[in-house]
Chains A and B, each alone.
Chain A
Amino acid sequence: MMSASILKLYNGTSVPRRDIPELPLEEFLRAILDATDHGWRVSAYFGTPDGGDFRLYCLLASKAEGVLGLLGAKVAADAALPSIASLCPQVSLFEREIAEQCGLAIEGHPWLKPVRFQRPLFNGPGKGVPEDKEPGVMDFYQVQGHEIHEVAVGPVHAGIIEPGHFRFQCYGEQVFHLEISLGYQHRGIERFMIGGPHPRSPYQMEAIGGDTTIGHGQAYAMIIEALSGTRVPARAEAIRGIALELERLANHTGDLGAIAGDVGYLPTSSFCGRIRGDFLNMSAVLCGSRFGRGLIVPGGVGFDCNPQQAGLLGSRIATAREELANAVDLLWNTPSVLARLENTGTVSEETARELGLVGPPARGCGLNRDIRRDHPFGIYRMSQIPVVTATTGDVHARTLLRWLEAEKSLDFIEEQLRQLPAGVYRNNAGAIAGDQVAVALTEGWRGEVCHVAVTDETGRFGRYKIVDPSFHNWQGLAMALRGQQISDFPLCNKSFNLSYCGFDL
């Protein structure tokens, strides 16, 4: 299998556009199916205009070989793209996105609905400038029958969370089907990036999802570095690693507290809320921003970490480790909490694999995938971080996993602080090469963050594709709710804790 039809490359590198094999459409789709059958995952699949037609790119990732694969195909603007979603469910949402962004017709898609209710990304010939559609206005899947009722939640929620619309088809308290409709936070980030990089691009990249500032910021920096051939100093790589793990710690701690809060267990909820703040403040020690804004710049980091800061971080990490362990131990020692978490919102390993889940929800189902190990980038090429998995696939697995990952992150940060390399912390990024395709994958706290940039002859972005981990995982949440109690939805939702704005872009 895996013929010459796929161009293999490593994470954080770029290749000339002409080196990417361009296959006939039929063969292109077959190659994707073939690869996914052999354990490759689809990391990104998108279209970009090419003359009057569209060129499709598919980025695949192989854990076994530790490489990424790129392949392309050309499709005429008025032709229909045959859907392979029923054979390979993980491309389903990508195909819907292509239909929406490129205005291409998709043939035989089982679930062709709007993704973000956005207007086409590229103005087709003679199409004018269409408007974005109103989010949430579409036909929802319906179950009919005696005693079936529909519950609509959102986009305005009772808590301080992002907007999204959820339709439940219920039989009494039991959920038959959940349909999730997003797009309320669509800002047009991919549209802004066309013709970039602009001076404001780094800031927009950090704001794709405010809680994944480092994850997306690092991916963007890797793209620029790959395209400009910039070498990142070892010291900067270490600081970036510390920042990424601090981000993971802050969010995992917040999630542990939120999960405890959802089951009405207050002590852990309150303690974790405070400790999350401590981790955010540690990010502020590095760069002055609690969310790590402005820390990662192409070519290195914006701020050095002097010995005094490193010492301060080290002592704060030690305190936080002890406090977090105490707070979380309360969870594991309270039977009523465990009874609530176990066997709630279970996703089977098979479902997770088919949907191509990433990050903690995937690892909670026993799928051993983590970009930090499978396609290492930055500091993770030098210092490995152990990957944790759980097997049950329920809320308990996702909760346990967060705690175990937090432990590993704490170890990692302590290790990096002890052996911070000397030297400069920033190199200047050079000019961006034209006619290239650059790929960057990072493991944000939610999972795989994927950026792909396609540059034109002049070194501007012709297309900048962003895939947030939430893009893969929302369907997992819908599947987790099948046959569950509707009253368990908030808990399941919290255990996934997906990003709305990361999805909506």
Chain B
Amino acid sequence: MVDTILHLVLVLTMPPLLLGVIGKTKAAFAGRVGAPYLQPYYDLARLMRKGVVISDTTTWLFKAGPIITLAATLLAALLVPLGRHAAPISFTGDMILFAYLFALGRFFTTAAALDTGSSFEGMGAAREVTFSCLAEPALFFALITLTRLSGSLSLTPMLNHVTLFVWWDTGAALLLMMTGLFVVLLAENCRIPFDDPNTHLELTMIHEVMVLDHSGPYFGCILYGASLKLYLLGAFFLHIALPLSSGNSYLDWLIFALSMILLAMAIGVVESVMARLRLIRVPQLLVAAIILTAFSLILVVR
């Protein structure tokens, strides 16, 4: 019960902090002070109080997009175990639901983008769909590998199965999978080198260009949903990358929260030391992620 409450509290309150930490890390690399850690929260509070401008050419889809996407992401949040704890909802095959809740969110984001009829948003939707087509197989190869390792089709036992002993046994497979998953994590969350969340150049954007027309609370939903997605995929990734367990439930929560912040710093470092990829190179890196995760499966199956 306590675990479930802590799970919900963390899921609802912590995701924007990751963006704040990433921002601070990047600022440190650039020799700047940077925005406060809590800036994403202030931004959300500001957006929630703002009015909304809606184009005449849009339909209900435009408004439904951010809300359905956020709802789907929140539901997915109930399926992912955080740290060494069980997820609030867990059943056989929930990993498929987890993957496709994100797909559902993406479908409505792109549909809302196309609904505006703007040439930019259409371009962004085309890019998003193309790249996610390539990110999805990598995620599924990782899920299948984990299923094979744990003998379970549910996320909680699957992810909690990975421990330091498993790393000792099948380290090579896990290393390949971890690398592939990190690429997927960056691509799915529109981070550098795939997308630049800070750019104002609409012709180069992928995700940001799809939400250009959204404003006020709708845009707030999108921003919060995006940080939540980063949080969930990050938690998923940490199960494999840092399977630390102390045995004490409360200590485990602390370890989890700290390792999430560590992950945010790692993303900030990646974003600081490299430039964005040329857009035509993005699929190549994603294919590399597919190959890495596929090889991890081969290593486990053999």
Give residues in A with beta carbon < 8 Å to B.
149-153, 158-159, 173, 260, 262-267, 269-271, 274, 334, 336-337, 339-340, 344, 485-491
Q: Is the CB of B277 within 8 A of A158?
A: no
Q: How many residues of B contact A (CB 8 A)?
A: 30
Q: Is the CB of B119 within 8 A of A266?
A: no
Which chain A positions have C-beta within 8 A of B30? 266-267, 269-271
Q: Are A485 and B278 in contact (CB under 8 A)?
A: yes
| Complex contact A150–B276 (CB within 8 A) | no
A141 to B26, CA, bound (A): 43
Q: How far is the CB of B126 from chain A (nearest CB, A)?
A: 8
Within the complex, the shortest CB–CB distance from A343 to chain B, in Å, comes to 9
A489 to B271, CA, bound (A): 22
Which residues of chain B are within 8 angstroms of A150 by Cβ–Cβ distance?
119
Let me know if B271 and A487 touch, CB within 8 A: no
A44 to B126, CA, bound (A): 45
In the complex, identify which listed stretch (B85-93, B106-114, B199-207) lies at the interface while the others stay far away. Answer: B199-207
Are the C-beta atoms of A262 and B201 separated by less than 8 Å? yes
A340 touches B272 (CB 8 A): no
A-B contact pairs, 25 of them (CB 8 A): A151-B123, A153-B203, A158-B200, A158-B201, A159-B200, A262-B201, A263-B275, A264-B275, A265-B274, A266-B30, A266-B271, A266-B272, A267-B272, A274-B31, A336-B276, A337-B275, A339-B275, A339-B277, A487-B203, A487-B278, A488-B278, A489-B203, A489-B204, A490-B201, A490-B203
B29 at the interface (CB under 8 A from A): yes
**Across the interface, which residues of A come within 8 angstroms of B275, CB to CB?**
260, 263-265, 334, 336-337, 339-340
**Complex CA distance for A133 and B198, rounded to whole angstroms:** 37
A125→B201 CA distance, assembly (Å)? 48
With A159-B200, A262-B201 as known contacts, state yes or no: A336 contacts B277, CB within 8 Å.
yes
Cα(A484)–Cα(B277), bound, Å: 15
* Minimum CB distance partner of B204 in chain A: A487
Is B5 part of the binding interface, using a Cβ–Cβ cutoff of 8 Å? no
**A337, closest chain B residue (CB):** B275
Cβ–Cβ < 8 Å partners of B202 in chain A: 153, 158
**B120 and A151: CB pair below 8 A?**
yes
User: Contact at B119–A149, with CB atoms within 8 Å?
Assistant: yes
B203→A264 contact, CB < 8 A: no
A344, B275: Cα distance in complex, Å: 15
Complex: chain B residue closest to A340, CB-CB: B275
Report yes or no: A264 in contact with B278, Cβ–Cβ below 8 A.
no
* B250-302 interface with A by 8 A CB criterion: 271-281
B119 and A340 contact, CB distance less than 8 A:
no
CA distance A489 to B201 in the complex (A): 9
Q: For the complex, is B243 an interface residue (Cβ under 8 Å from A)?
A: no
**Which residues of B are found within 8 Å of A485, using beta-carbon distances?**
278-280
Q: In the complex the two chains form, what is the Cα distance from A20 to B113 in whole Å? A: 62
How far is the CB of B190 from the nearest CB of chain A, in Å?
11
Indicate if B196 sits at the interface (CB-CB under 8 A): yes
B32 on interface, CB distance cutoff 8 Å: yes
A-B pairs with the 10 shortest C-beta distances? A270-B30, A264-B276, A490-B201, A263-B275, A264-B196, A336-B274, A265-B275, A337-B275, A487-B279, A158-B200
Please name all residues of chain B whose beta carbon is closer than 8 Å to the beta carbon of A158 when the two chains form the complex.
200-202
Q: For the complex, what is the distance from the CA of A337 to the CA of B202, rounded to whole Å?
A: 20
A159 to B201 Cα, complex, angstroms: 7
Residue in A153, A265, A491 with the greatest tally of chain B CB atoms within 10 Å = A265
Please name all residues of chain B whose beta carbon is closer than 8 Å to the beta carbon of A267 when the two chains form the complex.
29-31, 272
Measured between alpha carbons, how far is A336 from B275 in the docked complex, in Å?
A: 5
A173 contact set on B, CB distance < 8 A:
123, 279-280
Query: Is B81 on the interface with A (CB-CB < 8 A)?
Result: no
Interface centre among A152, A271, A336 (most CB of B within 10 A): A336
- Is B193 located at the chain interface by the 8 A CB criterion? yes
Tell me which of B198, B203, B273, B276 has the highest count of chain A C-beta atoms within 10 A of its own C-beta.
Answer: B203
Contact assessment for B199 and A264 in the assembled complex, using a CB-CB cutoff below 8 Å:
yes
Return B40 CB to nearest CB of chain A, in Å: 18
* Nearest CB in chain B: distance from A339 CB, A: 7
Most buried by B among A159, A266, A490: A266
Most buried by A among B192, B274, B275: B275
**Chain B, residue nearest A269 (CB):** B30
**Candidates B29, B31, B201, B277; contact of A340 at CB < 8 Å:** B277
Bound-state CA distance A153–B120 (Å) is: 9
A151 to B193 Cα, complex, angstroms: 25
Known contacts A150-B119, A340-B277; decide if A270 and B203 are in contact (CB<8 Å).
Answer: no
Within 8 A of A (CB), among B183-241: 192-193, 196, 198-204
Whole-angstrom distance between the alpha carbons of A260 and B30 in the complex? 12
A334 to B277, CA, bound (A): 12
Neighbouring A residues of B276 by C-beta, 8 Å: 263-265, 336, 340
Closest to B203 in A: A489
In the bound complex, residues from chain B placing their C-beta under 8 Å from that of A489 are 203-204
Supposing A271-B31, A344-B278 touch, asked if A264 and B119 sit within 8 A by C-beta, the answer is no
State in angstroms the CA–CA spacing of A52 and B198 once bound together.
57
In contact, B204 and A266 (Cβ under 8 angstroms): no
- Report whether B204 and A490 are in contact in the complex, using a CB–CB cutoff of 8 Å: yes
Q: What's the Cα separation between A343 and B165 when bound, in Å?
A: 48
What is the distance, in angstroms, from B274's C-beta to the closest C-beta of chain A?
4
Query: What's the least CB distance linking A482 to chain B, in Å?
Result: 16
Contact of A336 among B120, B193, B203 (CB under 8 A): B193
* Most chain B C-beta atoms within 10 Å of own C-beta, residue among A153, A263, A274, A488: A263
Write out the residue numbers on chain B whose beta carbons fall within 8 Å of the beta carbon of A159: 200-201
- Cβ-closest chain A residue relative to B191: A264
Q: B201: which A residues are within 8 A, CB to CB?
A: 158-159, 262, 490
Q: How far is the CA of A340 from the CA of B279 in the complex (A)?
A: 10
B278:A340 contact, CB within 8 angstroms: yes
Complex contacts, A344 vs chain B, CB 8 Å? 278
> A488 vs B278: C-alpha distance in the bound complex, in angstroms?
8
How long is the Cα–Cα vector from A152 to B203 in the complex, in angstroms?
10
Residues of B within 8 A of A491 (CB): 204
Q: How far is the CB of A235 from chain B (nearest CB, A)?
A: 38
Chain B residues whose CB sits within 8 angstroms of the CB of A264 once the complex forms: 192-193, 196, 198-199, 271, 275-276
Q: How distant is the Cα of A382 from the Cα of B272 in the complex, in angstroms?
A: 45
**Nearest CB to that of A168 among chain B residues?**
B203
- With a cutoff of 8 Å between Cβ atoms, the chain B residues found around residue A490 in the complex are 201, 203-204
Q: How far is the CA of A263 from the CA of B202 in the complex (A)?
A: 13
Chain A contacts of B26 at CB under 8 A? 266
The docked-state distance in angstroms from the alpha carbon of A336 to that of B274 is 6
